[in-house]
Amino acid sequence: MIDIVIVNYNSTDYLLKCLQSIYADLEGFPATVWIEDNGSADGIHRITDQFPDVILSRNERNLGFATAVNHALKKGVAPYVVLLNPDSLILKGFFREALSFMELNPQIAIAGPRILDEDGSLQGSARAFPTPMTALFGRSSLFTRIFPNNPITSANVLTSRSDGIHPMEVDWVSGACMVIRRKAIDAVGCFDERFFMYWEDADWCKRMWNGGWKVVYFPVVSIVHHVGVSSSQLLLRSRFEFHKSVYLLFEKYSPTIPWLIKIMVMASLFVRFGLLLALNGITLYVGAPGACRCITPQAKSVPQKIKVLRLIARLNVGGPSIHVHLLTTGLDSKRFETLLVTGMISDKEGDMAYLFQDSSHKPYQLSEMQRDIRIPMDIRVIRRVYQLIRKFQPNIVHTHTAKAGFTARITVLLYNLIFRKKVKIVHTFHGHVFDGYFSTIKSWLFIQIERFLARMTDVIVAISETQRNDLAIKYHIAPLQKIRIIELGFDLNPFLSSAVLKGRFRKRLGVGDKTIIVGIIGRLVPIKNHEMFFEAARLFLEANPAIDVKFVIVGDGECRDHLEAYCRNLNLTRHVLFLGWVRNVSLAYADLDILALTSLNEGTPVSIIEAMASSVPVIATHVGGIQDLLGRPNDPPSDCGRFAVCERGILCRNNDAIAFFKGLSYLVGEDLPAKQARIKRARTYVVNRFAKERLLKDVELLYSQLMDKEMK
């Protein structure tokens, strides 16, 4: 026979479900359920209406957890007691396994089960006795949330050491659920009633150990625990009682500590309490002396629209700008409200703000948000974004590109802490800066920053399978389960119909139909590795002097002057044309014979997708998500592995001009039927994979799932 003890305070809705789970698992096992209600005002009478066998004691006021438990303990006589929170659910097999374990181990006073959050994640319910560092690295402290695997928390939260199968001796287990031997209670005594709430479980376990009994973590059995249902209704009181109990525990087990140290500890706890009040914005609402009134929380209301604050560092020419334009203007306006925030572009970057020229979704521009790292300017960005969040009140903040991702995610963390909000954070990696952009030390630093930011991000979006594997496996930015693949989406119609523009671009260049045009489209920046493109062009011209070919550079950027000089040094001026930015880029694709890409690092290059939709053959270096676009090799790699003929394009070894020259030569001389078959496969692939309708559907589903999870 067992006594089941539950203390309730305005958690009756949860308690009803708790009782259902208890009786479902008892399976006729003899038990008495004792409920001590601490003055609830949420229809506690429903308990005996639905469960007449329960013994309900209604206290006129809130006696505190320890006192209420003791009242029930003194009434029962069963050899075992199960102490349970009302916001818990017993999982199948709990009573059978737990009581069998206690019967076989008479030296054990208390066994604590595995406790799960409602999403199935493990709660740190088995712990070491607190030390001064517990204040900073406790189970739910800020530092633990940011650095969950730090050694101090691991030493404090002992649950992480369990193999999930075998019992493990621990200092103490959570009072959310305990299986206690009555003989141990008779020997040691009940809870210390000076603890109104919090830390009475740690004190009890300490006393059990001091009395010669053992406390174990028993992960074979499990419960689900909805944390803080009762305490959240008394936010100010619960914070106060937490710190009061911490000091009581310290004083109780440190009797010889000098009074000056005790004063310092008390002062530190008072400061910590004050900081929590400031961060959480708790409002005191006091009733009659000796009691605390609380306003019963209202049920969460579903917002009429999901509000999304979207941030990108700048609207420069490229895939990310096109992406955020589609998401800002294309989401279902009946379900979503979006505000786009952008920074400033540099002088030599192409500006794609024209995408919003005829749109009602005008971006909000922050002049302080720029590409370069400038600490004073970045702090101002955080302040401005913080103000925007307070004004717009988003449900979700979705960031794009590294700079916007850093400043906005830090801001949301601060906002959530200060106002006790749960604004969801999504970050999309359109590429990454971990390879090819910076020195080894800087790259390492950026990886550490992204790992830190990933811990506070609800969902990380990768735009290809390769990128997801890079983020999770190669760079360990986040676990695979936190990363969702949502491939890019585009309005492909201008490129699918680009053939109607054929001849205009050639006329602009002053070349005839027989001239082969090899184009590279993108920013003129080091990561695009145009120098290798020019080296390959030189090798091709030397090997094929009779072929009439032009190499066109569509784009602009910081490296233009250097690259023009580089071409002059290679005597390529007659064969290379720098065109700057071309707004109607489908005009260029209409006459390109080959689209080239020589980058050192990429995510999912937009130029390749646009070229495929325009029926232009593609040759590219093997970096980032490019192979995901070009597909598997049809044949073994050619020319000592320097290039491979893939399902939808030619893939060349990275940063190898000879490989690119060999691949380019193969593509120019290839049989027309084989080339046309590959072009057709590529065009079909992008139409099926990268339509804007699919992108919008995927993102709307992600946002809805995030908000559905929040409402549960």
Say how far apart CA 267 and CA 26 lie, in whole Å: 48
Q: What percent of the chain has pLDDT over 90?
A: 59
Residue 235 is predicted with a pLDDT of: 54
Radius of gyration over every alpha carbon of the chain, rounded to an integer in angstroms:
32
pLDDT at 282 over 50: no
Q: What span, in angstroms and rounded, lies between the C-alpha atoms of 622 and 467? A: 13
- In this predicted model, what pLDDT tens digit does every residue of 335-381 receive, in sequence order? 999 999 999 887 667 788 888 987 888 999 998 887 666 677 788 88
- For 445, the token pair is 């630093």
**What is the Cβ-side half-sphere exposure of residue 3, based on CA atoms within 13 angstroms?**
24
DSSP E strands in 76-176: the ranges are: 80-84, 88-90, 108-116, 126-127, 168-169, 172-173
Residue with the bigger pLDDT between 238 and 113: it is 113
Confirm if 655 and 530 have CB atoms less than 8 A apart.
no
4-14 pLDDT, tens digit each: 999 999 899 99
Q: Which residue has the tokens 């053992």?
A: 214
pLDDT at 79 > cutoff 90? yes
Give the relative orientation of helices 402-419 and 259-280 as an angle to the nearest 10 degrees.
110
Give the range among 239-248, 471-480, 510-519, 582-591 with minimum mean pLDDT: 239-248
Higher pLDDT, 369 or 2: 2
The predicted structure's pLDDT at residue 601: 85
Model confidence pLDDT, tens digit, residues 257-275: 666 665 665 556 555 555 5
User: How high is the mean pLDDT of the chain?
Assistant: 86
Lowest-confidence region among 79-83, 372-376, 478-482, 626-630: 372-376
Q: Which residue bears the tokens 């809805």?
A: 704
- Full-model pTM: 0.52
Decide if 2 contacts 31 (C-beta within 8 A).
yes
Residue 586 pLDDT greater than 80, yes or no: yes
Q: Is the pLDDT of residue 316 over 60?
A: yes
Q: What's the whole-number mean pLDDT along residues 83-112?
A: 94
Burial class (CB in 10 A: 0-12, 13-18, 19+), 426: buried
Cβ atoms of 188 and 211 within 8 Å: the answer is yes
Given a cut of 90, whether residue 149 has pLDDT beyond it is no
pLDDT above 60 for 281: no
Distance (Å, whole) CA 530 – CA 522: 10
Contact 623, 599 (CB under 8 A): yes
